[in-house]
């Protein structure tokens, strides 16, 4: 199977465990071959290249590792989004003439939150 974008994932995951051997090949290793116009000819070309040992399969981690990576990636995006929102809050407060960092160590410390809540009342 040729890895292109994320389109390979559902097919690979569905076939995983159902077939004895499943190869995922990097598209960079088999592209730019003249005459490849259809999916059928692509599949035949991949099978031929693999049979002659001209391409190696890409590593696809086991499901447990994939799940851990997905959770780790999701957590990182959430941490990054939180940091971005804190920076946005600091900018809004500075634009309003409130410089929290001059009285508190961090914009999102308990002291800073109390000051923000006091200004909102």
Give 10-residue mean pLDDT values along the chain (121 residues): 86 90 82 67 82 87 95 99 94 88 83 86 83
Closest CA to 118 of 98, 91, 92, 89: 98
Domain count, the chain: 2
For residues 51 and 69, give the distance between their C-alpha atoms in angstroms, rounded to a whole number. 32
**Does residue 14 lie in a domain region?**
yes
Q: Which domain holds residue 18?
A: 2-51
| Predicted local confidence at residue 14, as pLDDT | 92
**Does residue 60 lie in a domain region?**
no
**Does residue 59 lie in a domain region?**
no
**Does residue 22 lie in a domain region?**
yes
**Does residue 61 lie in a domain region?**
no
Cβ(35)–Cβ(60) below 8 Å: no
Structure tokens at 56: 């190696």
For residues 20 and 22, give the distance between their C-alpha atoms in angstroms, rounded to a whole number. 7
**Does residue 41 lie in a domain region?**
yes
């Amino acid at each position: 199977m040729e890895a292109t974008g994320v389109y390979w994932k559902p097919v690979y995951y569905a076939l995983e465990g159902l077939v004895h051997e499943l190869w995922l090949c990097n598209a960079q290793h088999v592209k730019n071959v003249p005459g490849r116009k259809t999916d059928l000819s692509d599949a035949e070309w991949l099978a031929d290249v693999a049979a002659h040992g001209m391409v190696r399969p890409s590593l696809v981690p086991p499901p447990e590792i994939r799940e851990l990576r997905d959770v780790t990636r999701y957590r990182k995006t959430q941490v990054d989004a939180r940091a971005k929102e804190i920076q946005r809050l600091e900018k809004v407060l500075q634009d309003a003439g409130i410089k929290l960092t001059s009285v508190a160590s961090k914009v999102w410390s308990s002291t800073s939150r109390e000051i923000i809540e006091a200004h909102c009342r």
